[in-house]
């Protein structure tokens, strides 16, 4: 069983995101102890987690996507991990968290549900963040300020959070 397929999560996870990140903003966490309750650190190689909050406003959904469609806020959770193989580089794992129209809470991972993930991202205003594999220029800020002073992660340089 693939743990990254769209799956229902405890509604408390969505509440943790809502309490941690205001709508239209992002937060960067550089240690697992800083993360909001119910949000998981991405393992031993994780260096930082960025959480961003936006609203979903897509109209006229294809019938196939209507079952798991956000109603309200969408939370993007980005885990930045070091990949210490033969040529060290960074990986970014993106997941979306939201509540659907029926009140069910969901998590969708970008790699296992790419079409659905892209559809939701395009209707949420979070697209610029996922096209950029860099850390934000500050540890907190508005979504439109994510790269205001330049991103801080170079895939060829050591990680600095």
* Average pLDDT over every residue of 12-23: 93
Q: pLDDT band at 99, cuts 50/70/90? A: very high
Q: Which residue has the higher pLDDT, 95 or 89?
A: 95
Give pLDDT, residue 161. 44
Average pLDDT of the chain, as a whole number? 80
Give pLDDT, residue 107. 92
Distance CA 83, CA 46 (A): 9
Q: pLDDT band at 47, cuts 50/70/90? A: confident
Lowest mean pLDDT among 4-8, 98-102, 136-140, 145-149: 145-149
H/E element, 76:
strand 70-83
* CB 99, CB 11: distance < 8 Å: yes
Q: What percent of the chain has pLDDT over 90?
A: 29
Give pLDDT, residue 50. 92
For residue 103 the two structure tokens come to: 């009140």
What ranges do the domains of the chain cover?
A: 7-145
Asked if the model's pLDDT at residue 20 lies above 90, the reply is: yes
Among 85, 74, 90, CA closest to 135: 90
Among 92, 72, 70, 98, CA closest to 9: 98
Q: What is this structure's pTM?
A: 0.83
């Amino acid at each position: 069983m693939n743990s990254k397929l769209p799956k229902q999560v405890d509604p408390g996870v969505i509440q943790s995101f809502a309490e941690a990140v205001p709508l239209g903003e992002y937060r960067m966490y550089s240690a697992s102890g800083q993360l909001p309750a119910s949000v998981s650190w991405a393992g031993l190689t994780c260096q930082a987690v960025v959480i961003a909050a936006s609203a979903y406003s897509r109209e006229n959904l294809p019938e196939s996507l209507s079952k798991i469609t956000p109603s309200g806020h969408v939370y993007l959770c980005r885990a930045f991990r070091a990949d210490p193989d033969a040529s060290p580089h960074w990986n970014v794992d993106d997941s979306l968290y939201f509540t659907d129209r029926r009140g069910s809470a969901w998590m969708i991972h970008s790699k296992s549900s790419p079409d659905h993930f892209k559809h939701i991202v395009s209707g949420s205003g979070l697209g610029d963040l996922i096209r950029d594999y860099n850390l934000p220029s500050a540890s907190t800020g508005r979504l439109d300020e994510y790269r205001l002073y330049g991103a801080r992660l170079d895939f060829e340089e050591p990680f600095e959070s």
